[in-house]
Amino acid sequence: MTLTLEHFYVLVGLLLGAVAVMNLLDRSNPRRVTTALFWGLYALLYLAGERMPPAAVGALMIAMALVAGFGWVRGGKPAMPAEDERRASAARLGNLLFLPALLLPIVTVVGATLLKDVQLAGLPMLDQKHLTLVSLGCGAIIALGAACWLTRSTPLQGVREARRLVDAISWAVVLPHMLAVLGLLFTEAGVGKAVAHVTTSYINMDSRLVAVAVFCIGMALFTIVMGNGFAAFPVMAGGVGIPVLVNMYGANPAVMAAIGMFSAYCGTLMTPMAANFNIVPAVLLDLPDKNAVIRAQVPTALPLLGANILLLYFLMNQ
């Protein structure tokens, strides 16, 4: 049997379903019913999303957004080992604690390179269309097994820890998924064409430097709004990158795309919409200022954006 991405979607769905049940049974959570509803709906998307009508999937995502928007997703108080017990376990294991984390990239690289041509009964062992993601899923399972072996725990404890982490991150776990959908919606709605019309109508694109600056700054700004450079790229590439930089000035599409994405990452450093990068670390570290990560990154992001503009200007025809 070929391991496909759908197998790991099922595992993620089951894990989210367990998180929903644990929250529902946790009477310390004042919003346990709505919190369980939120994670249950998300689990349903992974378990049956591809077999549901698109309108039903959209309705579920809107329902999730409403539940989170009204502040009805709260974390409970999952049972944890005593602090003394955890400190003693950490002292006993020492640097071996890093082994599960290191197994993730190692197994992913091995699966995507050394095992890509391995076949079982005439079929590829790993899904060739999503080789890296499937290898990452295998790495996660192997890392969980290593963690259980090292800590002498059970997979159930791994599920409890997953629930604790999901509760800490809260609705921001869903944000990358939502933003990816937003990018598709923008593309389908013709936002790229609208951007092309606005920029060519109100900005003088006869200057190559101006065109490059509009593209790079636009990539950063759309990423700030959408929280995801991959969602911003179709909009700016369709609006400025291809019609202006490539068609008018003969830019190398590969160079345009690469430096455009680097410019988008500058926007990632400056937006709370990129919650998994900027808000989640502040929450996990219990920082009093939830925007502390962003404030620390802005002095790097702005000069880097300027450097990307210059790089694209001088390298676009290479």
Which pLDDT belongs to residue 11? 94
Q: Identify the CA nearest to 232 among candidates 198, 278, 266.
A: 266
Yes or no: say if 266 and 217 are a contact pair by the CB < 8 Å rule.
Answer: no
pLDDT band at 302 (very low <50, low <70, confident <90, very high): very high
pLDDT of 135-174, one tens digit each? 999 999 999 999 999 888 888 888 988 998 888 888 878 8
**Burial (CB count <10 Å: 0-12, 13-18, 19+), residue 124:** middle
Which pLDDT belongs to residue 174? 86
Which pLDDT belongs to residue 135? 92
Q: Name the least confident of 104-108, 145-149, 183-187, 219-223.
A: 183-187
pLDDT of 65-85, one tens digit each? 999 989 899 887 777 777 788
**Burial (CB count <10 Å: 0-12, 13-18, 19+), residue 22:** buried
Yes or no: say if 41 and 63 are a contact pair by the CB < 8 Å rule.
Answer: yes
The average pLDDT across 188-192 equals 75
Chain-wide mean pLDDT for the chain? 88
Amino acid at 2: T
In percent, how much of the chain has pLDDT > 70?
A: 99
pTM: 0.76
Rounded to 5 degrees, what angle do the CA atoms 239, 65, 134 make?
70
The average pLDDT across 188-194 equals 76
Structure tokens at 224: 């700030």
pLDDT band at 289 (very low <50, low <70, confident <90, very high): confident
Encode 234-258: b = buried (16+ Cβ within 10 Å), e = exposed.
bbbbbbbbbbbbbeeeebeeebbbe
